[in-house]
Amino acid sequence: MKFGLLELYTSDSKYSLLCEKLKKNIISGKRRIRRVDPYMRLYQDLANFYRTNENDEYIWLTAMALRLKCGLVSEKEILSTPSRAEEIELIDLP
């Protein structure tokens, strides 16, 4: 995911820094997990970037990397049934 962020930043200057987006969301009161969690925000930015560049396989890989980072999947299966709202949001990613 971090290499994807580097790719995003170096591809075009129109992308604002991840920390600026997070700060803006917190200050404006947008506090849903997808708005304030750094990894969720990073996933969304990368998914949008890859969608724009027609790299659908990279969207899937990024979603899987996020699930692995959060400990929601093993190499072959989901470890447990998600119970918290943020876990459910992660499982629902494309």
pLDDT for 84 equals 66
pLDDT for 25-71, tens place per residue? 999 998 888 888 888 899 999 999 999 989 888 888 888 888 888 77
The proportion of the chain whose per-residue pLDDT surpasses 70, expressed as a percent, equals: 74
Amino acid at 87: E
The proportion of the chain whose per-residue pLDDT surpasses 90, expressed as a percent, equals: 15
* Structure tokens, 47: 């998914």
Using the predicted structure, report yes or no on whether residue 83 has a pLDDT greater than 70: no
Q: Dump the DSSP string for the chain.
A: -HHHHHHHHHH-TTPPPHHHHHHHHHHTT--SHHHH-HHHHHHHHHHHHHHHTT-HHHHHHHHHHHHHHTT-B-SSSBSS---SHHHHHHHT--
Note the pTM of the prediction, 2 decimals.
0.71
In angstroms, how far is CA 93 from the centroid of its own chain?
A: 9
